[in-house]
Amino acid sequence: MNFDTAFIFEAIPKLLKYLPMTLMLAVGSMLLACLMGIVLALIINNKIFILSPVAKVYISFFRSVPTLVTLFIFYVGIPQIFPDFTFIDAITATIVALSFKNAAYLAEEFRGALNAVDSGQMEACLSVGMTKWQGFRRVILPQAMRVAVPSLGNYLIMLVKESSLAFTVGVTDIFAQTKILASNSFRFLESYIAVALIYWAVTIVLTMLQGKLEKAMSKPYR
């Protein structure tokens, strides 16, 4: 078959209809992973008894296991071990699996960002009558987030691409629809070029938004 450039431009609008699903998986996983990552980082930094070793084992395990294996553990394995979780659908399992996987990486990113904030900042907070929680929420965390933003942007872009694995458990995202389109038309190269262009465009937009966020968070330090 001859390469058909026109098919690429015909396929893009058809694939864009499934982009919201991909973005939902990525953003939902990112939000949950950030929350879990911060908690893990605080547990390790504060060396909380029992919880700190458990957090380190968690990080070691999920950093070692491939994403696809993690996805099948949550979609197939967990419901078998705990029958009460059979209600979990493919979308939920994908979001949870990607969250648990990336939380292990983000925990190290947040730990590094928190350590980058001078310890004297908390001492200053306590000296003016703030509680540790107030000092952390109002002073330490905003500064740590400024340090972590570039890494967070990269992980969000990675999650957009990792969400393509959702097709293995039956989620029809943009990549799954690409496979269907390619199989029906036998235009495999054209279909995959079309989806590659969409992923590229999404990455460019996210990179621009990351740059604007970094600029906005750096204003008080200029």
Query: pLDDT, tens digit, for every residue of 95-118?
Result: 999 999 999 999 989 888 888 888
Instruction: Reply yes or no on whether the pLDDT at 49 is more than 80.
Output: yes
CA separation for the pair 205, 217 (Å, rounded): 18
Contact between 116 and 147 under an 8 Å Cβ cutoff? The reply is yes
Domain ranges of the chain: 7-221
Tell me the pLDDT tens digit for each residue of 133-178: 888 888 888 888 888 888 888 999 999 999 988 888 888 888 889 9
Mean pLDDT over each residue of the chain, to the nearest integer: 88
Cβ atoms of 145 and 113 closer than 8 Å: yes
pTM over 0.95: no
Dist CA 48 CA 135 (whole Å): 19
**What is the pLDDT, as a whole number, of residue 103?**
94
Q: Which fold has domain 7-221?
A: MetI-like fold (1.10.3720)
Answer whether residue 196 shows pLDDT above 70: yes
If pLDDT is split at 50, 70 and 90, which confidence band does 1 have?
A: low
